[in-house]
Amino acid sequence: MQDVAVPIPGGHVNVWRRPAHGDASTAVLIHGLSGNSRWWSAVIDLLPRHLGIIALDVRGRGLSTEAPPPYDLATLSDDVARSLDHLQVERAVVAGYSMGGWVAALFGVDHADRVERLVLVDGGFPVPIPPGTDADEFIDALVGPSLRRLEIEFDEPETFFDYWKGHPALAPYWDDEMKAGLGHELEEHDGRFVVRADPEAIRVGATELAVGERPNAAGARLRVPTHLIVVERGTLDQAGGMIPLAVAEAAAADNPHLTMEYLEDLNHYTLVLGSGAPAVAAAIEGTS
């Protein structure tokens, strides 16, 4: 795996990449709202070595924090196409986790000819907003504990990991192997450590998840083979996943191109950072 700079208008985005062996497929991996390419580490470790990997740091995250706006999800989808062009990959299996699911769904609509299969990992379909809740309240309830780390300066990396160990979705399930996925977030400034992320990019992405009409309509418009994974528990380990089971079942009933998989005993974060990684890897490989 190597970091590669992919040109975009006005700058570049980083992708964490290994080439495919022979005529093997390539998997494009798109992370969530405030994550980065290394959140896929546990999944990548389980994928066959001949499979090509293109894991993006999307604009404003990871090693793409200097990438310029716009940060809307359609632009992030177009960056996937730019990455495939730059790396001379014609078609790929495209997997998106959380916010990346909406990016992947848009890619499946706008660049369908470049998709072998889509894998939507607890993302890509509308999340119901409770009546009377405005967008900011909804976003804070959904991902607030994770986003608050963007405002903190940590004394050392272990202090940062202590923060994650206290997150309600990870505290009961913490494993030090999760550090591989989370540690890429940190960069050092004058002896202190901060998270590599542009708050404006996060705000734009979160708003689109809440009220973006086109991203939330993309899942229903998909006409490429698509596999949707949803889980029993949400972003705070509460009952009910990010994509409710009823939403996923209705989507699968309405679209013959869509299959759905429901995983118990997992939450939105342990799905990729923890014990859900084998199921996600199997879906990407096409063996689930």
Residue 135 pLDDT > 80:
no
Listed in sequence order, the DSSP H helices in 87-156 are: 99-110, 135-147
Task: Name the token pair of 219.
Answer: 């899942």
Strand partners, 261: 229
Mean pLDDT of 199-216: 89
Confidence band (pLDDT; 50, 70, 90) for 132?
confident
**pLDDT, tens digit, 9 for 90 and up, residues 102-119:** 999 999 999 999 999 999
**pLDDT, tens digit, 9 for 90 and up, residues 155-172:** 999 999 999 999 999 999
Residue 146 pLDDT > 80:
no
Mean pLDDT of 197-216: 89
| Higher pLDDT pick, 242 / 134 | 242
Q: Looking up tokens 């890897």, which residue turns up?
A: 281
pLDDT of residue 128: 80
pLDDT of residue 131: 79
Domains of the chain as residue ranges with CATH: 2-127+198-285 (3.40.50.1820)
Residue 203 pLDDT > 90:
no
Confidence band (pLDDT; 50, 70, 90) for 191?
confident
Within 13 Å and on the Cβ side, how many CA atoms surround 195? 22
**pLDDT, tens digit, 9 for 90 and up, residues 42-98:** 999 999 999 999 999 999 999 999 999 999 999 999 999 999 999 999 999 999 999
In angstroms, the CA 227 to CA 94 distance is 10
**pLDDT, tens digit, 9 for 90 and up, residues 250-288:** 999 999 999 999 999 999 999 999 999 999 999 999 987
Residue 142 pLDDT > 80:
no
Cα torsion at 110, 112, 113, 118 (round to 10°)? 140
Residue 208 pLDDT > 80:
yes
pLDDT of residue 199: 87
pLDDT of residue 281: 98
In angstroms, the CA 275 to CA 273 distance is 7
Least confident interval from 36-50, 123-137, 152-166: 123-137
**pLDDT, tens digit, 9 for 90 and up, residues 211-228:** 889 999 999 999 999 999
In angstroms, the CA 171 to CA 221 distance is 37
